[in-house]
């Protein structure tokens, strides 16, 4: 079976239909087990249709008995209904990954139905910050995750906010993604398109990512960015100034350098790379 996990190992999956989500969850669980990983399905409803589908999978009961698979209640992995503590949640998954490695597995894969963790504005702000922090930890640890959200319960705006903080998602909105890179590659990557329609979300995403300068620099890998509106550059300038830093924007397009010079954005340094 082809592994459905994207190259970055962190997928946002929004759904309106439980059966469609069940198909996706099944694919990731089967692929994870085939890869020798310990696999968790984290769910607020252990008796729900997705969990019932997984239980019926051939070999799943044996995988549960051996410790290779588990249906994990949401409240045992997160504090269900509460505001997530991003560093504590990252530490919890890091410890669970280490336990999987110690038990002889290749790592830990999680499919988490996390709708209940993002129902309020406070929950959403904390969880988007957590998504960026766990994304950064994934760059160095054998951990992968599918974060699933019920669009019918949350609405398009909330789902877009969550999707933009992941390297990959199953929807076309938002048109950009801001996600963590390996430390050696900088602080974050930008892909997609930044235009007038998503400027407010982009400013929010920068705040949620809470990037911390290294030696006064914030390095953004933007070779996957197809379009960059001048308003996004102005937002990056303001972000850099608030953090007393210089944003280093690495891009394969010449336009950002010309716009930066034209607008006098002295807190942005554009590096054109191929």
Task: With CA atoms as reference, report the closest residue to 142 among 20, 32, 233.
Answer: 32
Residue carrying the six token digits 């909330």? 158
Let me know if the fold of 10-173 is the same as that of 183-272. Answer: no
Residue 157: per-residue pLDDT: 94
Burial zone of 199 (CB within 10 Å; 0-12 exposed, 13-18 middle, 19+ buried): middle
What is the sign, positive or negative, of the torsion defined by CA atoms of 112, 116, 119, 125? negative
Beta-sheet strands, E only, within 9-62: 10-15, 38-43
Helix axes 255-263, 230-242, angle to 10 degrees: 60
CATH number of this structure's domain 183-272: 3.30.750.24
User: What architecture is domain 10-173?
Assistant: 3-Layer(aba) Sandwich (3.40)
How high is the mean pLDDT in each 10-residue block of the chain (274 residues)? 65 93 93 96 86 91 95 88 92 96 97 95 96 93 95 96 94 88 91 94 96 95 93 96 96 92 96 86
Residue 274: per-residue pLDDT: 76
Query: What is the residue-wise DSSP string for 105-141?
Result: -S-EEEEEE-GGGSSSHHHHHHHHHHHHHHHHHHTTS
Residue 249: per-residue pLDDT: 96
Sequence-distant (6+) residues with CB within 8 A of 168 are 6, 8, 10, 11, 12, 177
Peptide bond into 105 cis (omega under 30): no
Task: With CA atoms as reference, report the closest residue to 43 among 70, 83, 13.
Answer: 70
Token readout for 96 is 């669970």
SS3 11: strand
Residue carrying the six token digits 């988490």? 112
Ordered by start, the domain boundaries in the chain are 10-173, 183-272
Residue 164: per-residue pLDDT: 96
Is pTM beyond 0.75 here?
yes
Residue 7: per-residue pLDDT: 54
């Amino acid at each position: 079976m082809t592994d459905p996990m994207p190259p970055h190992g962190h997928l946002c999956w929004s759904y309106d239909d439980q059966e469609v989500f069940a198909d996706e969850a099944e694919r990731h669980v089967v692929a994870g087990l085939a890869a020798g990983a310990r696999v968790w399905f984290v769910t607020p409803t252990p008796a729900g249709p997705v969990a019932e589908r997984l239980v019926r999978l051939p070999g799943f009961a044996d995988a549960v008995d051996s410790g290779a698979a588990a249906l994990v209640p949401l409240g045992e992995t997160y504090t269900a209904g509460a505001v997530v503590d991003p560093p504590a949640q990252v530490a919890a998954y890091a410890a669970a990954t280490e336990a999987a490695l110690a038990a002889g597995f290749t790592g830990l894969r999680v499919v988490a139905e996390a709708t209940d963790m993002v129902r309020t504005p406070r929950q959403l702000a904390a969880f988007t910050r957590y998504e960026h922090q766990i994304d950064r930890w994934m760059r160095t640890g054998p951990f992968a995750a599918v974060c699933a959200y019920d669009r019918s319960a949350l609405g398009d705006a909330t789902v877009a906010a969550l999707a933009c903080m992941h390297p990959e998602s199953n929807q076309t909105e938002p048109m950009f993604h801001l996600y963590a890179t390996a430390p050696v590659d900088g602080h974050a990557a930008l892909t997609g398109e930044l235009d007038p329609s998503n400027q407010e979300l982009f400013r929010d995403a920068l705040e949620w990512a809470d990037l911390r300068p290294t030696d006064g620099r914030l390095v953004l890998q933007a070779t996957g960015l197809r379009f960059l509106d001048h308003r996004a550059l102005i937002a990056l300038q303001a972000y850099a100034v608030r953090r007393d830093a210089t944003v280093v924007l690495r891009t394969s397009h010449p336009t950002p350098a010309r716009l930066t010079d034209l607008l006098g954005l002295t807190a942005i340094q554009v590096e054109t790379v191929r």
